[in-house]
Structure 1
Amino acid sequence: MLIKEFCAENYTDIPAAIHAGAKRIELCDNLAVGGTTPSTGVIEEVLSYAGEKNVPVMTMIRPRGGDFIYNDIELKIMHTDLIEAKKIGTDGVVFGCLTPSGWLDEEALELLIDTAEGLQITFHMAFDSIPAARQFEAIDWLAEHGVDRILTHGGAAGTNILDNLPRLKELTNYAAGRLLILPGAGITYENVDQIVTELDAKEAHGTKIVNLAE
C-alpha cells in the first residue's frame, strides 16, 4: 500500500490531510525556505492528533533556510531540537548536513544519528546538493549508518520531477532496499499514481500529495 507523506507547515492542514489519506506527516515550519524546525507546541499538538489516527510524524530538524552547511552553534541547536522532539514523542526526524565541498558532514551526521537512536531517520533534500557523481557513495554511507530513507527530487530544485524519473530509478535500484528512496517536490494528488507506478515506489512525499478539499 502506498504511503503518502504529507509535508505540513504547522498544525493547520493536518486533520484535513489525514482525512484525505495522508499516512505519514513530515512536520516543519517556514516552507517558504524549504522547512525549518517547528515549535515544541506545534509538535505536541500534531503528535496528539496524528497519534489518535495512527499516523506517524517525522519532525524536521533544520535551524534555518539556505544551505546545509552548519557551524558548531547551528549543530548544537539541531542537537537540542532533536533531543526535545524525541522527548515529546516524535516518531522520526528529518535532517541533512553537508560540507562546503558538497559531501556529507559525517561528524555532524554521526552525532545526530546517534541521538536519534530508536527513531526513523530521513535524510532530506540536502541530498540533491551532493554532486551526482558522489550520490551513490552517499547512499552507501547513509545506509551503513542506519538512515531509513532519503528524500530526493532526483535533480536540481525547480526541475520537473517527471523529467527526473530516470535518475530516481537509478537511485532506487542502487539503494536496493538498503534504505528507501522517497521521491518528492512536484508530486501532487494528480500525478502521484503515475510517478509511483513508473518508479515502483512504496512512498511519495509532497505538500499537495493529497487533496485537502476532499
Structure 2
Amino acid sequence: MLTREFCAENMEFAPAAVAAGAARIELCDNLAVGGTTPSYGVIRAAVAHARETGTDVMCMVRPRGGSFEHTPAEAAMMRDDLIMAKSLGVTGVVFGCLRDGRLDTELTSELIRLAHEDTPEAPGRVAVTFHMAFDTLAPEDQLPAIDWLAEQGVERILTHGGAAGTPIADNLDRLRAYIERAAGRIIILPGGGITWENAEDVAAALGVAEVHGTKIVKVS
C-alpha cells in the first residue's frame, strides 16, 4: 500500500483528505509561504481526529515564511512549539534549519533531541521529517546531509529533488540518487507536483512507499 501524506493548511480539508485515503497529515498554517507552525487549537483538533481515524499527524515547526535560517529568538520559538506539539500527541514534527546556506547541525541536533528523547520537558518520542529546506542546499552538500541526518536518527527527508516549481518528472534521477545514498537508513519522501493522478506512477518509478502533496488524494 502506498502511504499518501496530505499537506493540510489547518483543518479545513484534513478530514476530507483522510476520508479520501490519506494515511498521514502534514499539518501546517500559511501554505502561501510554504507552511508555518499551526496553532495549539488546530493541532489538538487534528490529533483528536487522527485518533478517531487511525491516521498520523506530522506537525510543521517553523516560526515564519522566508529563509530557513533562524535567529536565536526564532530557535527558542521552535523549541517551544515542538514541545507544545509533542505534548498534544502528534506523531511527528517537521522542520528544516540552515545556517549560511548549509545545514545548521547545532539547531537541528537540538530539535531532534527534543523530538526523540523522553525528557521531563518533552515526554515521549515523536518522529522527525527534515523538510524542503533540504532542496535549497547546494547539490554538493545534499548527499552528505543525507548521511548526517540519517546518523542522527531522522526518519524522513521531504524533498522535491530540485528547485521549487520544476516538474517532478524532471527530478526523478536526482531523487533516485538521494534514495540510493539513503540506502534504507532514512526515508526519502518525494513531494511537490505529486497528485492523486500521478502518485502511483511516481512511486513506482522511484521504488518508494510514501508520497507527499497538497493534492495527493482527490478531495472534492
Sort the TM-score into its range (normalised by shorter chain).
over 0.9
Flag structure 2 segments of 5+ consecutive residues without an equivalent. 117-124
**Alpha-carbon offset, residue 51 of structure 1:** 1.2
Flag structure 1 segments of 5+ consecutive residues without an equivalent. none
**1:116 to 2:123 alignment:** no
Q: Deviations over 1:22-79 (max 9, x none)?
A: 0000000000000000000000001001111110100000000001000100000000
Q: Give the TM-score, by structure 2 length.
A: 0.95
Residue of structure 1 in register with 2:81 after alignment? 81
Q: One-letter code of the match for 1:125?
A: M
Q: Provide the rounded CA distance (Å) in 2 between the counterparts of 1:96 and 1:127.
A: 7
Residue of structure 2 in register with 1:205 after alignment? 212
Matches within 5 A, 1:9-20: 9-20=9-20
Q: One-letter code of the match for 1:110?
A: S
Residue of structure 2 in register with 1:106 after alignment? 105
Q: Provide the rounded CA distance (Å) in 1 between the counterparts of 2:75 and 2:13.
A: 30
Residue of structure 1 in register with 2:40 after alignment? 40
**Alpha-carbon offset, residue 158 of structure 1:** 1.2
Q: Deviations over 1:92-149 (max 9, x none)?
A: 000010011x211011011101100111100000000111111110001000001000
Q: Provide the rounded CA distance (Å) in 2 between the counterparts of 1:171 and 1:179.
A: 10
**1:62 to 2:62 alignment:** yes
Q: One-letter code of the match for 1:205?
A: H
Residue of structure 2 in register with 1:93 after alignment? 93
Q: Provide the rounded CA distance (Å) in 2 between the counterparts of 1:74 and 1:89.
A: 23
RMSD of Structure 2 on Structure 1 (CA): 0.6
Q: Provide the rounded CA distance (Å) in 1 between the counterparts of 2:6 and 2:99.
A: 29
Q: Provide the rounded CA distance (Å) in 2 between the counterparts of 1:83 and 1:25.
A: 19
**1:184 to 2:191 alignment:** yes
- Of the three residues 166, 176, 181, the one matched with 2:173 is 166
Q: One-letter code of the match for 2:219?
A: L
Percent of aligned pairs with the same residue? 57
**Alpha-carbon offset, residue 205 of structure 1:** 0.1
Which SS does the other structure have where 1:116 is aligned? helix
**Alpha-carbon offset, residue 204 of structure 1:** 0.1
Which SS does the other structure have where 2:38 is aligned? coil
Which SS does the other structure have where 2:102 is aligned? coil
Residue of structure 2 in register with 1:156 after alignment? 163
Q: Provide the rounded CA distance (Å) in 2 between the counterparts of 1:67 and 1:74.
A: 12
Instruction: Give aligned pairs, total.
Output: 212
Which SS does the other structure have where 1:46 is aligned? helix
Which SS does the other structure have where 2:99 is aligned? coil
